[in-house]
Amino acid sequence: MVFQADAEIKIRQFNASRDKNDSWITNCGKPMTNIQRPLPQPIHPTYDDEIDLWQLAVNLWEGKYWIIGITLLFMLAGFSYVKVAEEEWQSTAKVIQPDYLGYQEILAYTHRLEPAFGTQYADRIKNLNFGTSEEVFKRFITYYNSPDNKREFLKSHPDFQSQLQNAENEAALLNKWSKGIAASSNKSTPNEFELTFTATRATDSSDLLTEYVRFSNAKLAEDFHENIASMLTQRIGELQRIKSTLELNTRNRINREIERLTHSLAIAKAANINAPIVDPGTTDEFNINLGTRAIEAKIAELKSLKNLGVIEPGIITVQNQLSAAGNIDLSQRPVFEAYKFIQTPAVPLSRSHPKTVLILLGCMLIGGFLGVIVVFIKNSIRSHLHAD
């Protein structure tokens, strides 16, 4: 059609040019008026690559069965994939840091250590990173996202074990399940975390999410208990070393004092000073003015001294802290929740994979596009064959 229109335009241009020449020959030698002078003919450009939309629409209509057939074929393939693909259901929950009621058990448990640490209690608890509800909540999120924690939970769960029997690669199955477990927050609400767990059935996903939240919280409580117990054990050992050092230093002080008094006794006997001199007028390093009887009594008392706290009061303080540490009972583990639900786990209403509507829509678009291409290729081949 495009080539036929171009030919007709060229024929009309040729006839117009011939008429112009005939008119010039007839009026040769005669002046031409404005009425007789021919008007300039507009030039109509021609394009060899013009697209005939009507012909295009006709070709598509003629190939409609090809387009429909290919589209239906792709939709059938997509529908088959939806039927055979393994379903994935994702359950979600939302949590924030615990309030005072949820956190007071941690406070009460840590305060048990205060008598054993004395003035060092605040600094030691701060280093434990359980000092505030925010720190406890951050540790809970860390445990929830921990790959080791995920693997430990999955390996001990019967649902995963049932699928593992039919799987050839345990690592691949663990990686697949682990990717469906996550805790994340939005920039707009950084203190609010969304917890997710993906499973092959809707009810399983919500049950597994609930169990994994409790598992992560229990691991955190276990870690907290182990840290507290370890801190207490270290403190007891530290106090015992301090006590031994103080007792050793005190014993050395007593021995030095006994040795000094022994020299004082010898000097006092040589000076025949038996009774204390009230105002000797002079002082000496050995205190011989005490007299022999007082010096002998002091030596005897120091040798028989058993309570070293009389000489060094710090020993009594350390003994009291040791006694308090020994009476701390950590056999019962703390029970607390390191989070607070603002949206509890619920059974999902729709599966997260495969998305039936999206898959069928994508297959329809791809099939329709490929169908149009097939029709164009088919008509192009037919046109070339007709031209030859």
DSSP 220-252: HHHHHHHHHHHHHHHHHHHHHHHHHHHHHHHHH
How high is the pLDDT of residue 210?
Answer: 93
How high is the pLDDT of residue 10?
Answer: 52
CB atoms within 10 A of CB 197: 25
Strand-by-strand arrangement of the 181-185 sheet: 181-185, 193-199, 89-96, 340-343
Query: Can you read off the two tokens belonging to residue 216?
Result: 């992560």
How high is the pLDDT of residue 236?
Answer: 92
Positive or negative torsion for Cα 93, 96, 98, 99: negative
Mean pLDDT for 253-262 is 90
| Beta pairing partners, 199 | 89
Q: What is the pLDDT of residues 70-95, one digit of tens each?
A: 888 888 887 777 777 677 788 999 99
Distance separating alpha carbons of residues 369 and 361, to the nearest angstrom? 12
How high is the pLDDT of residue 341?
Answer: 92
- Output Rg (C-alpha) for the chain, integer angstroms: 50
Q: Is the pLDDT of residue 20 over 70?
A: no
Distance separating alpha carbons of residues 177 and 182, to the nearest angstrom? 11
Q: Considering only CA atoms, which of 116, 336, 327, 123 is closest in space to residue 232?
A: 116
Mean pLDDT for 12-32 is 50
Q: How confident is the model at residue 5 (pLDDT cuts 50, 70, 90)?
A: very low
Residue 96, classed as helix, strand or coil, is: strand
Buried b (16+ CB within 10 A) or exposed e, 139-176: bbbebbbeeebbbebbeeeebbeebbeeeeeeeebbee
- Give the predicted TM-score (pTM) of the model: 0.66
Domain with residues 86-343, CATH architecture: 2-Layer Sandwich (3.30)
Residue 238, classed as helix, strand or coil, is: helix
How high is the pLDDT of residue 192?
Answer: 92
Q: How confident is the model at residue 1 (pLDDT cuts 50, 70, 90)?
A: very low
Q: How confident is the model at residue 353 (pLDDT cuts 50, 70, 90)?
A: low
How high is the pLDDT of residue 168?
Answer: 66
Q: Is the pLDDT of residue 223 over 50?
A: yes
How high is the pLDDT of residue 202?
Answer: 82
List the chain domain ranges.
54-85+368-388, 86-343
Q: Which residue has the tokens 């445990």?
A: 143
Q: What is the pLDDT of residues 30-59, one digit of tens each?
A: 454 544 455 455 544 544 445 567 877 877
Distance separating alpha carbons of residues 363 and 78, to the nearest angstrom? 6
Q: What is the pLDDT of residues 121-171, one digit of tens each?
A: 878 888 787 878 888 999 999 999 999 999 999 988 888 877 776 666 778
How high is the pLDDT of residue 238?
Answer: 92
Mean pLDDT for 317-330 is 89
How high is the pLDDT of residue 2?
Answer: 40
The residue length of the chain stands at 388
Q: Is the pLDDT of residue 306 over 60?
A: yes
Average per-residue pLDDT for the chain: 80
The residue type of 249 is N
**Contact, 136 vs 223, CB < 8 A?**
no
